[in-house]
Structure 1
Amino acid sequence: MTDDAPNSSTPPGLLPAGLMDLLPPEAEREAVLVETLMAAFAGHGYERVKPPLLEFEDSLLAGSGAAVAEQTFRLMDPVSQRMMGLRADTTPQVARIAATRLGLQPRPLRLCYAGQVLRVRGTQLAPERQLPQTGIELIGSDAPAADAEVALVAAAALAAAGVPSVSLDITLPTMAPALLEAAEVPPALRQRLARALDRKDAASVAALSGEAGPLAAALPVLLAAAGPADGALAALAGVELPPAARAIADNAAAVIAAIRARAPGLRITLDPVEFRGFRYHVGVAFTLYGPGTTGELARGGRYMSLNEEPATGMSLYPDAVLRAAPAPAPRPRVFVPAGTPEAALQALRAQGFATVAALSAADSPKGLRCSHRLVDGRAVPISKEG
């Protein structure tokens, strides 16, 4: 290195903020979990697709993809000289596949996927920018039973992964906009009301809805109704709603009835005026929570696919599911001397052991993190003292 060379080389182990290596045994746990979720999806008739990690920007950000444009990394393709994007969410890619490559297939389509997504920035609570994602998309049906199905299949997949006690939170992201549109609320007042609703500021919502006119009077009632689904549905039934908002409420009631017909024990909450999440949702939106403080495990809802085709889906986040699921027992590792017949190793692997062969005299069970050693053809546990 010359004297005038900058002394700012990046340490080889340093990664960009929000990116990390996944090491043993966590990497294997994640891989096993993803395949468990995918097997559950397949058992309900969802067929696997594999979109590319990046594609041309104009197709990646079409339709529902526009909602994640600000979270999408972009780069120039040196071959075509066109801009490409790295996916920040897989749902828009599945919508593209359904509209193009599978455009002539009978509807409804049931598709599932697994892969990594990359986002420009994380959040304070979730700073990771590269995330594993699995999910299901049901494309071509606007029936409430379709929304119910994706919620229940996602819950069933979580149960297969060891998280049976989930709760389903349903939101109606188009309800507040429908009320404000019907009331012809001026843009400035509409923005203030939206901020107050987002903050759950009941006093401000009550005051501002009074300024917005009688059609907005339902907002304070619906804000206070958030909670168990029965109470929220009763509140929706008891307030005066314009036709568009009433259709949203009736659809929510039909979806919840369809869910309860198949899973009467599932805990369901409903927030009629919450509008968090991706902006492409046009009907009910879902969030699945794990027990205790494990947080969000899945999110999804109703949207319009490409070609204005009705669709609904749910994305599951394996990193969050791993925190909620019980840790599996580690795979036992058997230390085997060099020259052990392959038939003996195959027999051990058939019993669920990982066989770790010595390659030199310096290799030891402890150094290779083995729990057992091969003695007289049998896997014998290694004592902690040894």
Structure 2
Amino acid sequence: MSERTPGEVVESVRTGFAERYGHEPDGVWSAPGRVNLIGEHTDYNGGLCLPIALPHRTYAAASRRDDGLLRMASAQQDGVVEVALDEVSPEQPGGWGSYVAGVLWALREEGHDVPGLDVFVDSTVPVGAGLSSSAALECSVGAAVSDLAGLGLLADAGGRARLAQACIRAENEIAGAPTGGMDQSAALLSDEATALLLDCRSWQTEQVPFDLASAGYALLVTDTHAHHELVDGQYGSRRDSCEEAAGILGVDLLREVPASELDAALEKLTTDELRRRVKHIVTEIDRVEHAVAALRGGDLDEVGRLFDASHVSMRDDYEISCEELDVATETARQHGALGARMTGGGFGGSCIAIVRTESVGEVSRAIDAAFAERGLTAPSSFPVTAAGSARRDT
């Protein structure tokens, strides 16, 4: 976890840009990673989710080109990746550059006049930790494109929502990751000290107060360092199962199955696996609604209970947890957490726990010890607050 200040990263990314390209950038833009408080894998089912933006951000220094060429470089990678905008496809440029090139491609597909760019990126969002480093990359570049091309998409919530949709399309169609859109929406629409209630069917949003510190608590994130990839097939197979189940149930999206009718819906499904998948999605959407009510009512004990129930559902019904996530959440609970759950796509990544502010160090050390006892790679734990969305930094 980087301890660099935002100002230090901005200066570093400007310097890195100049070293790679031989001239100064036109500006620096950034977008945050995210933690989803609750509502996992509900987004591509048209459901509800409740993310917050993290203080950890991806920064993009950029300048426009007039030759239709996109050049990309990163503080985390050697060399420069080049692709002509007219040649961007699921095969071109491939790798991490597809997340960048895909954003320009998607905006062009929407009819915007998008120039070529020189881009240099640096990030304090842990990669592979389930904290949406990919969406932070897309949205930082999207913010740069919006300003450099004069698109004005950062000016209001409507423009930001359209930019989020372009970034979603970039990840789905060019990068090949079948994500549902929560991450990009969180990166572009979140406010400080609030969680973003996102309806992934209507794409309407509401800001829900989220200030644990005032109640004496903190949100502790543990990056298990069990890294995952959204393009390895496991994520896609869960989405395929949901689409298959929706077809059997005669609905477009599993969001249309009310929690009150879950038992009847499960009886119509043909395999135990489909029943488990649908049970998670329907109950998870219901948990989001209850969590929002609990947060608005100041009932953190109930939020913690919902965290715990969500993790059990993801572990047993959706089968996206792993040993590291289970050890971290169980240890946090044993040391006084109100609740703990994995967050993100699963199969690795991070978990979150609501712990007393004065217990952050104790719980972090306990998780470290539990990992060491089992011979697991040492994790990284850190408290976070709800931060702001994509912006221009210089």
Q: Do these two structures clear the TM 0.5 threshold for a shared fold by scoring above it? A: no
Q: TM-score, normalised by structure 1?
A: 0.30
Q: TM-score, normalised by structure 2?
A: 0.30
Select the structure that is richer in helix.
2
